[in-house]
A and B are shown apart, each in its own frame.
Chain A
Amino acid sequence: DAKTTQPPSMDCAEGRAANLPCNHSTISGNEYVYWYRQIHSQGPQYIIHGLKNNETNEMASLIITEDRKSSTLILPHATLRDTAVYYCIVPVSSGSARQLTFGSGTQLTVLP
């Protein structure tokens, strides 16, 4: 499975864009990159996923480099409620389903 590397923590000012990087240099051609976040004492929340094209939804944008070895999650206007641990994951296929292996993630703190 493709291992991901993320910085352990980041700060961001409220209202500014939060750019969270992730390295996945061993990703293979058909593996997607998924982003989740976990707010304290809650289950992880799905944010976005992509293969090779940039993706955008109501929560965030995902920028994937052309060589697919890294990606950046962008929260365009961070709010205090975006403070959470953000996980970048490349799932492992297991039979008919995919397993998510959680690393340490990035603790994003949005500052007032």
Chain B
Amino acid sequence: GAVVSQHPSRVICKSGTSVKIECRSLDFQATTMFWYRQFPKQSLMLMATSNEGSKATYEQGVEKDKFLINHASLTLSTLTVTSAHPEDSSFYICSASPGRGDNSPLHFGNGTRLTVT
């Protein structure tokens, strides 16, 4: 089945620094990937849609200058949390689908636990 890999699985960084999270589709190409954020005891919230070769689309309330998304290839999207603050501590998850406009299910990475101290 389709595999989506995220790296790192856990990261601790100091306030004010930037952190990059990678999302790779291992056995398929993905023109679109999605980035989610999940706070403790809450459901996943869509942050942005990452489009290969073009700008990402951000959900309302998500700062595009703070959460930089780059989707430079058909198998890799990166999310960079810039100038991280403790309130950015969360579980970040990406997803992708082998299909394009069809009903292929989206597959998820195992998430990245970010802790900002």
Cβ of B90 within 8 Å of any chain A Cβ, yes or no, is no
Number of interface residues of B (CB under 8 A): 27
* B14-41 contact mask (Cβ, 8 Å, vs A): 1 or 0: 0000000000000000011010100000
Q: Which of A20-28, A68-76, A90-98 contacts B (4 or more CB under 8 A)?
A: A90-98
Chain B's interface: helix, strand, loop or mixed, by majority? strand
Query: Contact: B49 with A102, CB < 8 Å?
Result: no
Query: Contact: A41 with B49, CB < 8 Å?
Result: no
Known A-B contacts A45-B108, A46-B105, A103-B43; A97 and B100 likewise in contact (beta carbons under 8 Å): yes
What residues of chain B lie closer than 8 Å to A98, measured between beta carbons?
A: 97, 103, 106
Cβ of B58 within 8 Å of any chain A Cβ, yes or no, is no
Q: How large is the interface on A (under 10, 10 to 19, 20 to 34, 35 or more residues)?
A: 20 to 34
* B81-112 contact mask (Cβ, 8 Å, vs A): 1 or 0: 00000000001010101001101011111110
What residues of chain B lie closer than 8 Å to A96, measured between beta carbons?
A: 31-32, 100-101
What residues of chain A lie closer than 8 Å to B75, measured between beta carbons?
A: none
Considering only CB atoms, which chain B residue lies closest to A91 in the complex? Answer: B106
Given contacts A46-B105, A94-B57, 16 further A-B pairs with CB under 8 A are A34-B105, A38-B44, A42-B110, A43-B95, A43-B108, A43-B109, A43-B110, A44-B44, A49-B105, A96-B100, A96-B101, A98-B106, A99-B46, A100-B46, A102-B45, A104-B43
Q: Which A residues contact B (CB, under 8 angstroms)?
A: 32, 34, 36, 38, 41-46, 49, 51, 87, 91, 94-105
